[in-house]
Structure 1
Amino acid sequence: MMVQYQKIKDQYPDAFLFYRLGDFYELFNDDAIKGSQLLELTLTNRSRNAENPVPMCGVPHKAAQNYIDILVDQGYKVAICEQMEDPRLTKGMVKRAVIQLVTPGTQVDVGSQNAKSNNYLTAVTYDQDNRAFGFSYADLSTGELKVAKLDTQAELINELVSLQTKETVVGSRFPKTILETIQKLGILISHQEALPINASVSYLSQDVDKEPLKQVVKMLLDYIQTTQKRSLQHLKRAVVYEPSDFLELDHNSQYNLELTRNIRTGKKGGTLLWLLDQTKTAMGGRKLKQWIERPLVNKSKISERQDAVGVLLDHYYERSQLQDELIKVYDLERLAGRIAFGSVNGRDLIQLKTSLQQVPKIKYILEQIADNSFKDMLKDLIPLDDIVDEISRSIIEQPPISVTDGGVIKDGFDDQLDKYRDASNNGQKWLAELEAKERQVTGINNLKVGFNHVFGYYIEVTKVNLNKMPENRYQRKQTLANAERFSTPELKEKEALILEAQEQSKTLEYKLFVRIRDDIKKSIKRIQALADAVASIDVLQSFANVSEEYRFIRPTLTNDHRVKVIDGRHPVVEKVLGHQQYVPNNVDMGEDTSVLLITGPNMSGKSTYMRQMALCVIMNQMGCFVPAKKATLPVFDKIFTRIGAADDLISGQSTFMVEMKEANDAIENATPNSLILFDEIGRGTATYDGMALAQAIIEYVHNNIGAKTLFSTHYHELTSLDESLKQLQNVHVGATESNGELVFLHKIQPGPADKSYGIHVAKLAGLPNGLLKRANHILTDLEKKDDQPDKINATPSKQNHDERVKTKQAGEEEQQISLFPMEQIDDNQEEVVAQLKNLDLMSKTPMQIMNQVYKWQQKINRE
């Protein structure tokens, strides 16, 4: 057996081998040692008296799925090795073979918590001549299959991260440097070499016309066939897509805008998806997530979706009816996948029947609305009455989970099955009569007729009553602690008939179930088309519900470059704060305005203002209504964001390097039809470096790109740019002081802000009063020494700029030193002065500065 085990294990060296032995899956050697730790199993030994005992552990085969899921969720592969023969009928070694390799990207059994998420397996090839990537992805549970050509490594990484893939398939010649970058993302790398072309691969790739794309689709399908070893009938034909077919959002923008994952928790809560998800089906939830991550750029398609939302919004009663029916629809996409895989059970078929029974009702409701917005969906809403009828005739309403233990098929469906059941039922009746008769003959009231799988049927008598047993009537069968078990020739004869009937009944019942399953498998494409239509309807009703609940309005789509949003809101922040507390704001950027330069204090709402603009654009191009009183929007092609500060520890890049890379990405790829959000560009370096970079970036975007740009900054010197840049407009977030307290107005107002209120924000953060007084004193001294602050010239010469920078820096040093009269400086103060001279104020947060000031104060006051 161990020789057989090792031969199979050698074929799957990178996977845990679950080796079937009777009712258990066993793991041996290194698999057992590591598996016992990961699965918290007891580690034992085989041949424990040998010189080198074999480590082993195991799990019951009926509970194996849970253990497999644990390993796969942690990024491991599991090879399931089954007995291919009946051990009872086999002499010698039972043949075994791996029937499936479960990997992170091919996992199809998902729990309820992941029902609204896809699990994508990806594949990548590299065309050395054209320096381009072939990229394909599939979800085995739903049958989705897509392929695209990607021109750069950045595009590849963006797709991998956006799809949240756990596993990528590559060939042996794939560039190692790129492979290392992918691995740093925590993605499992699997390898697949070419296999002979087969009919299913040819069918699924028939709509792919370019050879490099055909190759990557074939590699992906080869890997799926190699690992799954079963029908791929539920996979849909590969669809070629271009990233430019949708509003382009890189993964950084998706992350910064918190579209589907919360920055702080990594979960759904507090995201746009969380707000918009009032879908009633799992497949509707998945489609909503796809629409959020890939908004449209086709104006007519956007309008079609918004038309449908408007119709549902205007028909409250019909929408309520629609929701009642959608709640009863199970996950048709994944049910179709399980049917194709052969893993469907009786309960799954009942769920399929229940779901299909709602289709005529859903179609009728939409026909009552009688609107062209639903014409494409109505076309695919075809009731599958033949499947409903077959399941209704064959499967009981509450079947067991197992399909091999009987009790799934209805009485009257098959004559032979009814005969077996009749024989079995009559046998059970006979056993009951036998028990009553034997009690009467012996006078033993607690005598019973029972059954177990080892000894078969028996008559059990407690030891107290053994003296009442007639002699020579019974044959002893088993001795227990408190009872004896007997048999009779008559019982043995009846036992053979009953067991044969039960065994034949189970065997025939399973064959009938497989036949039903295979009949339904022929209709998988129809089920998938129906599922897609129901999912789209579900998302649209969710949009209508959310739009009604949160007072969203339909925006006007314009062909020009105007943006006008009246009383726009950040929908997620508004939901958290409440409608009464949220302050709405306008965004007004006509043809003559391409840049809004936003100033104002920290915590005043600049970032929220920028994000709400981006979310408004994304929701519009998804086909949803938007959070505003009125909105006029063009169709944007791309969104770029540089919001927040974070190191890229994986790539070894600092906050400032990440900031510059994201800024460069926007500068290189933005078009006049793009939206750019830049928040505090230049804060990660020295004051004048950062200010110079910020100004240069604003000028470049203004003069060379012309994209709609929202640029927030603390560099008040930049507000003078409106004098030289004709399409730049200054706005600021209002704030006021009342009795020495800072009050944020959270309202965007024309013109630049007058001051930054940094110390006020520090006060709001709860810093000690003594520290804040000292900070105010330092600030007053600095302002006195700088009576005429420099204002950056919009078009400075390099020489003048360099001289001004040197003069300014020298002045700053003098100011810092003069805070402490030289004749009074002791060692502690000298150290503080030295630190102050070298402190880069603009790279620090208000909290960091206040902490540093407090440390200095402690040092100076120390005797």
Structure 2
Amino acid sequence: MTDQPTPMMAQYLAIREANPGALLFYRMGDFYEMFFDDAVAAAAALDIALTKRGTHGGEPIPMCGVPVHAAESYLLTLIRKGFRVAIAEQMEDPAEAKKRGSKSVVARDVVRLVTPGTLTEESLLEARRHNFLAAFATVRDDCALAWVDISTGALRVAPCPQVRLGPELARHAPRELLALDGSRLNDIAAEAGAALTELSAASFDSTAAVRRLCELYGVETLDGFGQFTRAELSAMGAIADYLMLTQRGRMPRLSPPVRESGAGVMQIDAATRRNLELTQALSGGREGSLLAAIDRTVTAPGARLLERRISAPSRDLSLIHRRQAAVAALVEDARLTADLRDALAQVPDMDRALSRLALERGGPRDLAAVRNGLTAAVRIAAMIGGDDPLLAEAAGDLVGHDALIDLLDEALVAEPPLLARDGGFVAPGYEAELDDTRALRDEGRGVIARMQGDYIAETGVQSLKIKHNNVLGYFIETTTTHAERMLAPPLNERFIHRQTTANQIRFTTVDLSELETRILNARDRALELERAIFVRLVRAVLAESPRIGQAARALAEIDVAAAFADLATGEGWTRPLVDDSRAFVIEGGRHPVVERALKRKGEPFVANDCALTEGQTPAIWLLTGPNMAGKSTFLRQNALMAVLAQAGAFVPARRAHIGLVSQLFSRVGAADDLARGRSTFMVEMVETAAILNQADAGALVILDEIGRGTATWDGLSIAWAVLEHLHGANRCRALFATHYHEMTQLAAKLEGVENATVAVREWNGEVIFLHEVLKGAADRSYGVQVARLAGLPSEVVERAREILDALEAGARDGAARPAALIDDLPLFRSAPPAPPPAHKPESAAEKRLQAVQPDSLSPREALDLIYELVALARG
């Protein structure tokens, strides 16, 4: 016989069926419980105990649970492991349910669907990074990408052909991507690190999207926000529909949509971002990236703005110049920069506080964040003069909030609690009724203390205590021994017995019950009044949210400018000249990440120049030199120079003149892509093909060791043809590093191609890397020397040297092919191991050194020892 589910389990199953694809957090008192397969999956993911409760279908029901007060930490773990979680709360007091009958079930419903792209809680978010939810839509041949961070309210949309989807996702790094069911975007989403959520066609309907967006913004038409294509409306409408679904009607505060154009920013594809480690190191973390090396922002919104600047450097010359001028003004006024950074460090994250308040997930501390942020904004505005246009404009956005600041100052205590339900956040004197109610509540505590003293005097029981719990309320407690006199006449008429425990007996009196009623009413009334005040304050803040958001953006702008100025001053960076020419001239350029790492070790970084030919012809440097000499570093540092310059920052160089870079391409280093069945060489060729097919005349391309993954002559042929294509078809600026020395001949044949090499020196058979880039070509690659430095056995190194000498001699003699040279070598013959060094007697100086204890020598004794050793060596 099949078990009939209990009413509670029937409710659980109904809610579970209505929310497929998500773990269900089912509220039961102080715990969120999970059952069936949800429990099995959650217990494994969270490493918590899996238990059983009742049966269903004749089988025990798996169950696990997490405490409500600690739910956020468990949610974070589940979200990071790819789960979506539906939160089912109790929608009524259990006492109300009991009024309908003893077997009635407390009403429950899902109040929120937690997904990777819809997080708002401070503990679930990275303060210094955006948490984007993106949507990709296609309407006929038109495609668009929209993205939103509901924790800050920023909504953007842009045209996006499907071929550009991967690069755009790499730029924004969304946590979640919405797409039409069956769109087959799994690989693209996975490569971008985004969870893919597929929605029905109804969610992407462009006509319904207009209605949704108008309702969201409370307008009759979207014309006031600009003109949007059907695909753009579809993408934004899908986001609005998904937010309605996940937030269960509590829509976040979203800024008006902004339409972006790809022409406004430098185009950087996913492979280039990965190779250059712009915001994330190849190891996977932030440390080691360009962003980590340059981030000196002191606010979370400033850090998020900096990441956007580095991810999408501008191509708007006037905007770049405005940003540079602001940095220059702060560089020239070190005192102002220091004062601004000190003041900015006290600014809370107002954007995310506003978002939580709009979603009814905020608390008194979010109100305090707005108060403190606006108060700090006034101080910062007063520091900034009107000399720099960008800073002056930002300062203007920081003022005009006096009425709201005064309201919040008057209403809130200095350090409010986290939750409104706890009370205690409204300042004394703000509301007379609340002050009176609090006085009664607090006076009641004193009355209780006085009443306890009276009862002690009346009974003679010194250990008598008046206590309180949630079950009995206030009660009188004494030990069993002392309770005997209270149970006997005449005290038994006054002290009414309530409960007996193992060692204590509890009583009450009529007076105590009446006092309890008055105190409890005062406590509840005080909390009720505070909750009402909280609602009024939230409404007042949200009414000003557009202007508060504007102030938050202005603070972030000032923070980034001050951070760039502090970086330039501290590291000796210079303001680059950025114009619409084809110039790319760097004097004394340095790699910011490598220099930072070397500085920690106390080692200097060798600066280098780069001067690509100006004019209408292509400008290409063909760079040769050995491995480990610094070719890849040189390539990368010049690419990063363009990123920094167009992000509005100063650059690590003595001088820099950079013509606007429209596209940045990098193919430096490669690895297998086993998931797609691609070898290292295939990955290299795919990335190179993308460059040759897309790079325009305004692009900057850096290529390293093209063709190294195949046979020598194949590789040389490919590398040669690639360089010719860059020169003749793409006609762009490029740095092309290679070990194929035969290619250096191209400098004499192709206008605009120049040879450069990384200098090395040989000394006593050792190769010394100078890390200095010079005009000219390398005569060889020093691969055998590098192999020896890497620790290859000496016999392998000697054999390699022998083979190399034979190949080079044969090549000079005009041999037709390498095979002919190899045929003349004894095959598979290892060089004999080096004989042990012949024993020779120790010299007098060596014997003297054997007896020395260096740690015990004073400076004077060390000097005397040197003279002694010299004398011994000279006999």
TM-score, normalised to structure 2, is 0.88
Contact 2:363–2:418 (CA under 8 A) maintained in structure 1: yes
Q: Find 2:545's aligned residue among 524, 528, 535.
A: 524
Does 2:141 correspond to 1:126?
no
Shift of 1:224: 0.9
Instruction: State how far apart, in whole Å, the 2-side matches of 1:637 and 1:631 are.
Output: 17
Aligned to 1:160: 169
CA distance in 2, matches of 1:540, 1:65: 35
- Is the contact made by 1:201 and 1:218 (CA closer than 8 Å) also made in structure 2? no
Shift in Å, 1:48? 5.6
Q: Is residue 2:183 matched to residue 1:175?
A: yes
Tell me how far 1:466 sits from its aligned partner.
2.7
Partner of 2:315: 297
Contact 1:560 1:634 in 2 (8 A): yes
Given the alignment of the two structures, is residue 674 of structure 1 paired with residue 690 of structure 2, yes or no?
no
Give yes or no for the alignment of 1:498 onto 2:519. Answer: yes
Q: C-alpha separation between the residues in 2 aligned to 1:124 and 1:329?
A: 35
1:359 is aligned to 377
Contact 1:730 1:752 in 2 (8 A): yes
In structure 2, which of residues 10, 16, 20 is the aligned counterpart of residue 9 of structure 1? 16
**SS of residue paired to 1:268:** coil
SS, match of residue 710 in structure 2: coil
2:502 to 467, 481, 484: 481
Cα 1:594–1:203, aligned 2, differ >3 Å: closer, same or farther?
A: farther
Quick one: percent identity of the two aligned structures?
Answer: 35
1:32 maps to 2:32: no
Q: Deviations over 1:45-77 (max 9, x none)?
A: 222699323222222222222212211121111
Of 461-470 and 399-408, deviating more is 461-470
**How far apart are the structure 2 equivalents of 1:202 and 1:432?**
56
The residue number in structure 1 matching 2:864 is: none
Q: Match for residue 439 of structure 2?
A: 422
Shift of the alpha carbon at 1:126? 2.0
Does structure 1 conserve the Cα–Cα contact (< 8 Å) formed by 2:148 and 2:154?
A: yes
* Contact 2:354-2:366 within 8 A present in 1 as well: no
Aligned to 1:375: 392
**Among residues 68, 76, 87, which one is paired with 1:69 in the alignment?**
76
Alpha-carbon shift at residue 401 of structure 1 (Å):
1.9
After TM superposition, the structure 1 = structure 2 runs for residues 320-331 of structure 1, keeping only pairs within 5 Å, are 320-331=338-349
Equivalent position to 2:821, from 791, 815, 823: 815
Deviation larger for 679-688 or 508-517 = 508-517
- Asked if 1:213 is matched to 2:232, the reply is yes
Q: Which residue of 2 aligns with 1:407?
A: 424
> Partners in 2 of 1:412 and 1:310 — Cα distance?
48
Spell out, residue by residue over 1:93-150, the C-alpha distance to the aligned partner (whole angstroms, 9 max, x if none).
Answer: 32211111010111112449810001111111123x32x4221111110111111111
Q: Secondary structure at the match of 1:632?
A: strand
Query: Which whole-Å CA distance do the structure 2 matches of 1:650 and 1:380 have between them?
Result: 50
Instruction: Determine which of 564, 569, 576 is the counterpart of 1:555.
Output: 576
Aligned-CA RMSD value: 2.2
Partner residue in 2 for 1:46: 53
Query: 1:837 maps to what in 2?
Result: none
1:208·1:239 contact (CA, 8 Å) conserved in 2? no
Partner of 1:844: none
Which amino acid in structure 1 is aligned with residue 480 of structure 2? K
Can you give the 5+ residue segments of structure 2 that lack an aligned partner in the other structure?
Answer: 1-7, 835-875
8 Å Cα contact 2:174-2:193 kept in structure 1: no
**Does 2:638 correspond to 1:638?**
no
2:111 to 96, 99, 110: 99
Segment of structure 1 superposing worse, 108-117 or 493-502: 108-117
1:81 and 1:208 map into 2 onto residues whose CA distance is 40
C-alpha deviation, 1:446, in angstroms? 2.1
2:277 & 2:198 partners in 1: Cα distance?
33
| 1:512 counterpart = 2:533 | yes
- Unmatched 5+ residue regions in structure 1? 791-806, 821-828, 834-852, 859-863
Cross-structure match for 1:85: 92
Report the counterpart of residue 584 of structure 1 in structure 2: 607
- Which of 109, 116, 121 is 2:121 aligned to? 109
Does the CA-based 8 Å contact 1:5-1:19 persist in structure 2? Answer: yes
Residues 211-246 of structure 1: per-residue CA shift (max 9 Å, x gap):
221111111111111111244352011111122210
Equivalent of 2:26, from 16, 19, 38? 19
CA distance in 2 between partners of 1:525 and 1:122 (Å): 23
Q: 1:356–1:383: 8 Å Cα contact kept in structure 2?
A: no
Structure 1 position 645, deviation (Å): 1.8
**2:176 corresponds to which letter in structure 1?**
E
Q: Which residue of 2 aligns with 1:349?
A: 367
Find 2:558's aligned residue among 537, 544, 550.
537
Kindly tell me: are residues 636 and 392 of structure 1, through their superposed partners in 2, closer, same or farther at Cα, counting changes over 3 Å? same
Structure 2 counterpart of 1:746: 771
Question: What is the SS of the residue equivalent to 1:42?
Answer: coil
CA contact (8 A) 2:86 2:112 kept: yes
User: Where do residues 546-695 of structure 1 align in structure 2 (5 Å cutoff)?
Assistant: 546-578=567-599, 581-591=604-614, 594-695=619-720
C-alpha distance in 2, partners of 1:726/1:325? 54
Q: Tell me the equivalent position of 1:136.
A: 146
User: Shift of residue 650 of structure 1?
Assistant: 2.6
- Contact 1:280–1:327 (CA under 8 A) maintained in structure 2: yes
For the residue of structure 2 that corresponds to 1:445, the secondary structure is: coil
**Structure-2 residue corresponding to 1:287:** 305
Matches within 5 A, 1:456-471: 456-469=473-486, 471=488
Question: Separation in 2 of the partners of 1:755 and 1:88?
Answer: 87
Q: Which residue of 2 aligns with 1:444?
A: 461
- Provide the C-alpha distance between the structure 2 equivalents of 1:564 and 1:664, rounded to a whole number of angstroms: 27
Q: Distance in 2 between matches of 1:181 and 1:295?
A: 23
CA distance in 1, matches of 2:694, 2:501: 82
1:433 aligns with 2:450: yes
**Aligned equivalent of 1:732:** 757
Conserved? CA contact 1:143–1:337, under 8 Å: yes
- Kindly indicate whether residue 350 of structure 2 is the aligned counterpart of residue 332 of structure 1: yes
Are the structure 2 counterparts of residues 258 and 185 from structure 1 closer, same or farther at C-alpha, using a change threshold of 3 Å? closer
Q: CA deviation at 1:748?
A: 0.9
SS at 2:755's partner residue? Answer: strand
The TM-score, its normalising length taken from structure 1, stands at 0.89
Contact kept in structure 1, 2:76 and 2:124, CA below 8 Å: no
SS at structure 1 position matched to 2:155: strand
CA contact (8 A) 2:794 2:833 kept: no
Kept in 2, the 8 Å contact 1:75–1:166? The answer is: no
Q: Deviations over 1:503-548 (max 9, x none)?
A: 2222232122112112211111111111111101100000000000
How many residues are treated as equivalent by the alignment?
A: 802
- Give, in whole Å, the separation in 1 of the partners of 2:436 and 2:150: 41
Alignment partners' CA distance in 2, 1:5 and 1:690: 64
Equivalent pair of 1:200/1:232 in contact (CA under 8 Å) = no
CA distance in 1, matches of 2:179, 2:276: 31
By how many angstroms is 1:631 displaced? 1.4
Partner of 1:124, secondary structure, is strand
Please give the alpha-carbon distance, in whole angstroms, between the structure 1 residues aligned to 2:778 and 2:407: 72
Residues 105 and 50 (structure 1), Cα distance of their counterparts in 2 relative to 1, 3 Å cut: closer
208 and 96 in structure 1: CA distance in 2 versus 1, 3 angstrom threshold: farther
> What is the CA–CA distance in structure 1 between the aligned matches of 2:624 and 2:218, rounded to whole Å?
58
Name which of 289, 293, 316 aligns with 1:275.
Answer: 293
The answer to whether the 8 Å contact 2:166/2:269 transfers is no
Q: Does the 8 Å contact 2:755/2:775 carry over to 1?
A: yes
